[in-house]
Amino acid sequence: MNPKIVLVLLSAVVASDLMAQGVPPPPSGARSEGRQQGNVVVIPQAPDPVLVDGKKAQDLDENQMREFLESKIQTIHQSEGAVELLRVAPGYALTITFSESISSVVIGDPNLVKFTNKGRVLVLSANTRSGDTSMQIVLPGDRILNYHIFIAPNFAEAQSTLNVIVAGGNKDGVAGSPYYNADEGLDIRAIANVISNYDALEQEGAISRQGVKRYGIFRKSDITSFEYYYIYVFKSGPVAISFAYRNPYNYEVRYDESRLRLQMGNMLFVPDYVSFNQTHLAPGETSTGFAVVADPDFSPNQPFELNWN
């Protein structure tokens, strides 16, 4: 029999056998690119391209690539009781630097993620292509930071470098709370940065709702000429109130920040810090500002007023 006829008949038999098993035959011309697994020909497919803002990673210019990679470097403030989400991509390491030394690392599923711990630096890498697990970081004094790790499908959805500032902790013996500590007092610059850039910081993952909670007030007082915007409750202690004030008099007034008081019922509290953008106000002129109480002994959801003493 003609060899070509024999080959055609054998091909037909294989195709018929595959169809009987519910497996479609490979497309024409694909046999040389596939690999045989039993009676099934497997055709490997290339992974989907990594997209950055809708553009393939390989099509980014140098500046766009640098901007994308730098966006993977983040700084967050974390305290006990808050859970941070981590995303590790196969083939890429996630390096986490803590503001103090690590006592131990506990991984829920060590087969999913492997780690290397060197002092204050923890390096995570994925062992699988999918899945999730928990992780606890034990700090000196048996304090625990909680995390949940997800295996990201690609680097576009993963993290690269994370700097963790531990609230209420110590870095080489220096108090490391991002907003307040007993040795250094209020960190007004950090607090002001949160008040001015809360939405952007939250979107970037630089702060979490567990670390700093913001409550909208948007109430105008007909008695004191203050308009209240937000209350910021910092897990490490301080409470801040952002506001605007309008001069109700028909003459210019110079306002002294040290005379501002927080009134709750019959109680008056002296803020630890007051920022008033403009102290000289013409009639009807408005200025914005914020007041901070470092260690309040009241609930921030109580009714209050700001007054000049």
Provide the pLDDT for residue 202.
Answer: 81
Provide the pLDDT for residue 1.
Answer: 52
217: Cα separation from own chain's centroid: 25
Q: How many H helices and E strands in the chain?
A: 3, 27
Provide the pLDDT for residue 10.
Answer: 42
Task: Please tell me which residue, 214 or 178, carries the higher pLDDT value.
Answer: 214
The arrangement of secondary structure in 212-308, i.e. its CATH architecture, is Sandwich (2.60)
Provide the pLDDT for residue 39.
Answer: 57
Asked whether the predicted pLDDT for residue 8 surpasses 50, the reply is no
Beta strands in 174-269 (DSSP E): 174-175, 180-181, 185-186, 212-220, 226-234, 239-246, 253-254, 260-264, 267-269
Residue 200 CA to residue 190 CA, distance in Å, equals 14
For the stretch 172-181, pLDDT in tens is 333 345 676 5
When pLDDT is averaged across residues 39-61 and rounded to a whole number, the result is 61
Cβ neighbors of 279 (< 8 A, separation 6 or more) are: 254, 255, 256, 257, 287
Task: Please tell me which residue, 259 or 205, carries the higher pLDDT value.
Answer: 259
Provide the pLDDT for residue 71.
Answer: 80
Question: One fold for both 55-176 and 212-308?
Answer: yes
Cβ neighbors of 247 (< 8 A, separation 6 or more) are: 225, 253, 281, 282, 283, 284, 285, 286
Provide the pLDDT for residue 171.
Answer: 39
- Which range (13-27, 54-68, 217-231) has the least confidence? 13-27
Highest mean pLDDT among 3-7, 140-144, 283-287: 283-287
For the stretch 130-183, pLDDT in tens is 999 999 999 988 889 999 999 999 888 899 999 898 875 543 333 345 676 555
Q: Are strands 267-269 and 161-166 parallel, antiparallel or unpaired?
A: unpaired
**Confidence label for 11 from pLDDT (cuts 50, 70 and 90):** very low
The arrangement of secondary structure in 55-176, i.e. its CATH architecture, is Sandwich (2.60)
Q: Are 110 and 118 in contact (CB under 8 A)?
A: no
Highest mean pLDDT among 1-5, 164-168, 225-229: 225-229
Q: What are the residue boundaries of the structural domains of the chain, listed by start?
A: 3-42, 55-176, 212-308
When pLDDT is averaged across residues 236-250 and rounded to a whole number, the result is 91
Q: Are 300 and 235 in contact (CB under 8 A)?
A: no
Provide the pLDDT for residue 12.
Answer: 46
Task: Please tell me which residue, 197 or 70, carries the higher pLDDT value.
Answer: 197
For the stretch 54-104, pLDDT in tens is 667 677 777 777 777 888 888 787 878 788 999 999 999 999 999 889 999
Asked whether the predicted pLDDT for residue 260 surpasses 80, the reply is yes
